[in-house]
Structure 1
């Protein structure tokens, strides 16, 4: 389907690029980087009721631009349309146009061309929806095949249109199974617009996918909200936003639930320094088992002499701070669990259960235009994540000589 498009050109530029100078209801048009259904957009139509002075097409019929509302309201409608009913007719499938009775009169005499700079489509992966902006490679305007109608309901006039869709091209099939019918030449435009040409097989043959000449670019999810309207909607993702998309894929695969996934480091593009740090931590982990009072404590690689449990009993009042190897493995970076993973945004090593919330907080800052660490949170650094010293804790004091039973811990 086609549920969002873009046309941010000023009226005079649209007239210059289409070669059509007459525009009916021009005041209803508003340039927009994020055109949603129910908005007024310029369409091209041909008819004997065209205003005087309209330009002539190659078929000899008068062309003019008219601002119409997106979301077709059939002429037989008796009650004012709701927003939801309008959404049901923003597109008309080519197969239903061929067979459906609803379109019989419109496809014969009320064909139009919708002007656009491009359209948006969302790639769906699980719960994630990643927007893409599709345009012509040559930078020219897009001309969508459309149908229009006129209805008068309770003294209110409605000029509305719908965009004709067809199967996606091979290149765009990864994105969606449908795409707008794009008229690729002036001859195709004239044939589609000619009201004197009924809906012949030749006209019907125009309803096909455009197989070449298009390009597509991932853009920010900023465009997903219909109320957002700025150049940000069509701006290609920068490096920071590209990382954000990788993170969403990462959590969508279940890695944020504590499961160790293969190839995560490649997807997150971990820096070389962080990889070396992880290798060192893994080596230290093998040499330093957890402290357990049931077994003698192994010496730390940097300790000047061996220490046993009886040393803890004979020197309970020694003021020397406990060696880091005697503290909890969760409180020292050199003893991080193998399951710990670095945050792709700031490099902080965290358990998988905590990583998702931490990254979501960082993403929230990015959405606000902040860098990691702003908004009152100090930015983490590689030295912080690799060599910071945890709060000092006194070693446990052993009471009695029975192995495996610990005494009271120091305050």
Structure 2
């Protein structure tokens, strides 16, 4: 699963402009400030792509389906790939119905706990990690969730779930609804093997802590 992540790049719009097929980027609310401890219900950048136009907008991390009447209940910040096509909370977004659809969620890294020790997962080359996401406009606000899958080696020791990270060539198929049988499977091994995992200090467990030293 993914319950905390990090996004500190100052060049997010430039990275979005380099996504496959993107020729124009709109960000009506500007570039988000660097964050080192993003938790569910906080605002995160949601990247929605239609043809050659990418929109980068802040959305609540925790999906609000069109039928949701209020903010009660646990936030839907992860969606299991095994049931995303059938579970009422996610199936409309997965199928692009009722003011919802698919998106990408960028991160520099994320935190996961193993035996009560927080670990930071990132790419040692510094490149962004892109997660398959779903968005909705329930309660007249943009919200999003991350798709997760079973974790496989060499990541499975850390947690039994893993965000569905996308290779560059998988991004357009995900957004356009192609290759779904493959895209709901764990991220390719070539991508999983790129990730670096290192233990970090326990202050990351408090969402009020948000500073660069958290990632070590």
Same fold (TM over 0.5): yes
Q: Does structure 1 residue 223 correspond to structure 2 residue 213? A: no
For 1:26 and 1:203, locate their aligned partners in 2 and report how far apart those are by CA, in whole Å: 32
Counterpart-to-counterpart distance in 2, 1:177 and 1:111: 24
Residues 30, 41 of structure 1: 8 Å contact kept: no
What are the superposed Cα offsets for residues 123-150 of structure 1, whole Å, 9 maximum, x if unpaired?
Answer: 02xxxx1011101232210100010100
Greater per-residue strand proportion: 2
Aligned pair partner of 1:181 in 148, 161, 164: 164
Question: Within 2, Cα distance between the matches of 1:233 and 1:17?
Answer: 24
Which residue of the partner structure matches residue 363 of structure 1? none
Give the 4+ runs in structure 1 shifted more than 3 A.
24-27
Deviations 1:87-134, CA, capped at 9 Å, x for gaps: 3x110001111332432221122010001001110002xxxx101110
Counterpart position of 2:4: 4
Who is 2:66 aligned against?
75
Q: Distance in 1 between matches of 2:53 and 2:8?
A: 26
Return closer, same or farther for 1:67/1:204 CA change in 2, 3 Å cut-off.
farther
TM-score (ref. length: structure 1): 0.47
Q: Matches of residues 83-102 of structure 1 in structure 2 within 5 Å?
A: 85-87=73-75, 89-102=76-89
TM-score by length of 2: 0.87
Question: Which residue of the other structure, out of 47, 51, 58, is the alignment partner of 1:44?
Answer: 47
State the secondary structure of the residue aligned to 1:133: strand
Q: 1:8 to 1:86 in 2, by over 3 A?
A: farther
Structure with greater proportional helix content:
1
Which residue is 1:22 aligned to?
Answer: 26
The alignment's C-alpha RMSD in Å is: 1.7
Q: Give the C-alpha shift of residue 204 in structure 1.
A: 3.3
Which residue of the other structure, out of 172, 189, 206, is the alignment partner of 1:190? 172
Would the aligned equivalents of 1:43 and 1:67 in 2 still touch at CA under 8 Å? yes
Q: Please say if residues 42 and 66 of structure 1, whose CA atoms lie closer than 8 Å, have aligned partners that are also in contact.
A: yes
Partner of residue 150, structure 2: 167
Distance 2:90 2:47 in 1: 19
- 5+ residue gaps in structure 2? 18-23
C-alpha distance in 1, partners of 2:129/2:205? 21
1:86, CA displacement in angstroms? Answer: 4.2
SS state at 1:232 partner: helix
Q: Identify the residue that residue 209 of structure 1 maps to in structure 2.
A: 186
Greater relative contact order (CA < 8 Å, ≥ 6 in sequence): 2
Distance, in Å, in 2 between the alignment partners of 1:213 and 1:98 is: 29
Gaps of 5+ in 1: 48-59, 236-411
Structure 2 partner of 1:318:
none
